[in-house]
Amino acid sequence: MKTALFNRFNLDLPDLAVDDCSHQGPCDKDVDYWHLQVSFNHITDDDLLNELREYGAWEIDELLERETNEKRLLWIAAGNLKEGQENDQ
């Protein structure tokens, strides 16, 4: 288990989720699978929305669906953790 640190919360991901959701090419199917395995219950709607807004990649009207935002966060978390692993080596 690895923990991705964000400004407003942390997100725990299984090691395999980090690899599956951060590879080259589209990760949509992997993110869809792992989204069902990861708990987002501790993250409020406002915190999730505001965290993603800081990335500047989406307009506010694109950040209205909770499930889509959770998947975005999972993908970002996996990428951050994967990048951290590679930098540690």
Longest dimension (CA), the chain: 39
Instruction: Please state the domain count of the chain.
Output: 1
Question: Strands, E, within the chain: which ranges?
Answer: 2-5, 10-13
Structure confidence by residue, pLDDT tens digits, 21-41: 999 999 999 999 999 999 999
pTM assigned to the model: 0.92
For residues 75 and 27, is the Cβ–Cβ distance under 8 A? yes
Domain hosting residue 10, numbered range: 2-88
Q: What is the mean pLDDT of the chain?
A: 94
Instruction: Identify the band that residue 86 occupies on the pLDDT scale cut at 50, 70 and 90.
Output: low
Cα–Cα distance measured from residue 12 to residue 69, given in angstroms and rounded to the nearest whole number: 16
